[in-house]
Structure 1
Amino acid sequence: GGLAATALTVVATDYAHGEHEGQHGRSHAELANILDQAALEPKVKKGTAAMLRMLAEAEAAVHGVDAEEVHFHEVGGLDTLVDLAGSLIALDLLGVERVYAGPVPWSHGHIRTAHGLLPVPAPATVQLLEGLPIRPLDLDGETVTPTGAVLLRYLAHSLGPPPVMTVAAVGYGAGRREFSDLPNVLRVVLGEAAAHDSAGDALIEDNVVEISANLDDMPGELFEAVMEAAFAAGALDVWMTPIYMKRNRPAVMLSALAPPGLADAVTEAFLRNSTTLGVRRTLRTRTCLPRQTATVETAYGRVTVKLGRLGGRVVTAQPEYRECVDLARKAGVTVREVYAAALAAAENLRQAE
């Protein structure tokens, strides 16, 4: 009477699991080194490294130590890297451009860990869920792990009602633990976003929260820290606008866009890291070009390019700036030269359609 679901088991034949990990787990640096040596696409490595760092910072906050001192126990094996990198690879293979999720199920009970008996959700999980919407679930057992929480925080565009879309496929992934009253499965629904089709165009609409604050008393060097904190909290974009306030005082309006589910976290980043006493929040509707990513070959190496489409054709291309910087440094040329080469390669893609 249950649900048919797929369970995936990964076997690492050359990995001595018990001897090393059973003693004290792996450190963030050890896992990062394993990731660095893995044969993965750069964008997969980048995303996995970012989530691994978020896990380390959550554990560090819970235990009152520096992130570099953290030793993972329950999430300290290769399975963590498989979960994080595998999720990014799967989304890429499926062509997923945006991830949405429902509110996080908050169960109850306790779990046995290397630190003893801890309440559910685990402290690191709660740390990672800060600012995200939850829903109470009357179930004795762990329904969200730290790894699951970091995937939600990093990947989900918003947590709440699903977007308007056409369902294309549905899949179920099975967990190992059996719950008496609830199937232990994760459902993934793949869909096509609802689009406006006026004159053959296909535009995507969604809602975001604009957060802003006027600052006339903060040293300029602190703005970078505020922006970094806002991005770390889940902001989609952060920008500054020069303004004049009362009595013609020069000031800066600091603004950010955030998914509705992360607006509280970005607001807190503003309040904690700037001199403002309050922020303004406005719900905005965005109209976006459908996007996809492509990898182009240049004389300096491979570059990821974001492509914007309208009416079924590519109308804009944006090379990944950081990749251009890295390639320019290695080749001893300017970033502008690498950038131009990537744009030319993207133009060839457009003309070939």
Structure 2
Amino acid sequence: MTPETLARLTSLRHKLHQSPEISGEEKNTAAQIAELLEQHSPDRILKDIGGHGLAVLFDSGQAGPTVGIRCELDGLPIQEISDAPYVSRIPGKGHLCGHDGHMTMVLGVAEALGKSRPPDGKVVLIFQPAEETGQGAIAYRADPKFAEIAPDYMFSLHNLPGLDLGEVELCQGPANCASRGMRIVLKGKTSHAAAPQDGVSPAGALSQLIPVLADLGKGGALDADFALTTVTHASLGEATFGIAPGHAELWVTLRTVSDNRMSRLIQDAENLVQSVAKSEGLAVDISYDDIFEACTNNAEATEVLAQACAAQSVPCQMVSEPQRFSEDFGQFGKGAKSAMFWLGSGKDHPQLHNPDYDFPDALIPIGAGIFL
């Protein structure tokens, strides 16, 4: 990548950084990306896939596999803290996971393919919405337009704070944990605070469930039996002194290495909740959101990435454990040989989703080079 190209892509990344849109709202980001892609004369651009998603096709005209490269469009509902001149201009929203950088790398790939098509087969560049909620890849794959460009191979990356800048981690098999948000609603009966005995308070059930659900999954080694339950939110009644509560909510994130282990954890958690609610005379509703299935790297696709790193002289470490956090990229593995790699953001770089996180621009040519 020439210095001129890197400078142009860096400026583009900063522009994307200033206008983040959260999951499901990426209309303007998608329109901006589509306009940029048209400059590289792709053979086809498909829009509004699974929401605001894009697919951009570069066709060699020769027989061969279709190779997909995916990045994410969405930002986060977090207020950015930064002195950078390109700080987010949208209050309460920020590109604090690096998706602006991921998009920029894939735009760099598009620029290169616009000048020189692949020698055979096709390349489809996928700009996916709503990764942060786990809904984007599911909706993208379910869209009938996806069937028109369905890849044989799928590749993606995520930058990773805590790993040396520009180094790659890669694993075969489990790559990201399954996770889901469990919302528990406890329903009792309010009463005057002077006569709590005439109501049915969920306070006792809430105080019991917080520790027992936390004990259900204590984390530990990332092996087949790994389970982690994290209480993220709790509420009880109204903010008043005159009413004994009749309603409570408890939100818990469930996390496992495999989908099978997740099924068992869900059943165990639901059994606990139902048992406690019954003992306290409460009705209960359980629902789920932010559902991510486990992400697994295909062996052949993983080897392709390892060879790409070697060809670019990028240090690549094979690891045996998956990342604890989740990714909806695993959905693409249901129809393609897929693999994701982790590109180091620096040992002391702010963590993903921190308010002071910012994507390191030095990664732009590295990620684009590996994809190419």
Question: What's the TM-score once normalised by structure 1's chain length?
Answer: 0.24
Structure with greater helix share of residues: 1
Q: Which has the higher contact order (CA 8 A, sep 6+)?
A: 2
What TM-score, normalized by structure 2, do the two folds share? Answer: 0.23
